[in-house]
Amino acid sequence: MDHLLPGIHQFHTQVYQQEQEFFHKLADGQSPRVLFIGCSDSRVDPSLITQAQMGELFVLRNAGNIVPPNGASNGGEAACVEYAVSVLGVKDIVICGHSQCGAMKALLDPKSVESLPLVRDWLKHAESTRRIMAENYGDLKGEALLEMAIQEHVLMQIENIQTHPSVAAKLQRGELTLHGWVYGLESGQIRGFCSERSAFEPLGEQIAKAGIPAPLQKRPKKSLKKRKAKS
């Protein structure tokens, strides 16, 4: 705590005092435009990597940026999604994975979490990702396997979140857009899934080519590997 307490003091005496009007406005209510679903990993800070201000992101974080299908979990994920979509009226949902994800490493190596029963049970919500990797990517090993698992996992969560009634209703009316991202710890680069090319591409390139990232409303029912082979 010794390194946190000075920061708290600095925030109150400098940052808060200089921006009191802004913080008072936030106290009156929130109106974020984006629900950001990411991993609990301490190296991934949603506000930092997007340079968003306080009040701009409604954030849901858990081990492995997992979104269980509707009714599959009694945790707080479904409630968070419902509140963000139905009450706050977010217009975009970002599901963001990241390189070197410990949850994805454990998913690929279940023996590594045998002594962690709660972690093991939580990762059962990512069983679809594990099956995709086992059945479609048997030729990959090591870092290549992990990288592809991270990407496929993000796309699987995009599918899962569409089973939530609040999300499905807004998607049907064209009032919500889904985005799949992967953040690179080593490069600081964010890659977004491009529906047109069925691949994750640097967001900078997508912005340069199309103005904004192509929205992902529905994932094609094929693995990344099969879609690439066809293209």
pLDDT in tens, 24-77: 999 999 999 999 999 999 999 999 999 999 999 999 999 999 999 999 988 899
Residue 26 lies in a domain: no
Residue 22 lies in a domain: no
Q: Which of 186, 100, 189, 190 is nearest to 150 (CA)?
A: 100
**CA distance linking residue 172 with residue 66, whole number of Å:** 23
> To which H or E segment does residue 180 belong?
strand 177-183
What is the pLDDT, as a whole number, of residue 204? 75
The DSSP secondary-structure symbol of 163 reads T
- The pLDDT mean for the chain works out to 91
What is the pLDDT, as a whole number, of residue 73? 87
**CA distance linking residue 106 with residue 123, whole number of Å:** 8
> To which H or E segment does residue 177 belong?
strand 177-183
What is the pLDDT, as a whole number, of residue 230? 43
A 10 A CB-CB count for 134 gives 10
Task: Give me Rg for the CA atoms of the chain.
Answer: 19
3-state secondary structure of 36: strand
Using alpha carbons only, what angle is made at residue 148 by residues 143 and 149, rounded to the nearest 5 degrees? 95
Q: What is the CATH number of the domain that holds 153?
A: 3.40.1050.10
User: Is the confidence at residue 226, as pLDDT, over 70?
Assistant: no
Q: What is the pLDDT of residues 80-104, one digit of tens each?
A: 999 999 999 999 999 999 999 999 9
Range of the domain at 225: 31-230
What is the pLDDT, as a whole number, of residue 75? 84
185 band by pLDDT with thresholds 50, 70 and 90: very high
Looking at the chain, the whole-number percentage of residues with pLDDT higher than 70 is 88
Q: What is the pLDDT of residues 150-183, one digit of tens each?
A: 999 999 999 999 999 999 999 999 999 999 999 9
**CA distance linking residue 112 with residue 105, whole number of Å:** 9
Residue 11 lies in a domain: no
Residue 15 lies in a domain: no
Split into its structural domains, the chain has a count of 1
Q: Which of 225, 224, 216, 230 is nearest to 93 (CA)?
A: 216
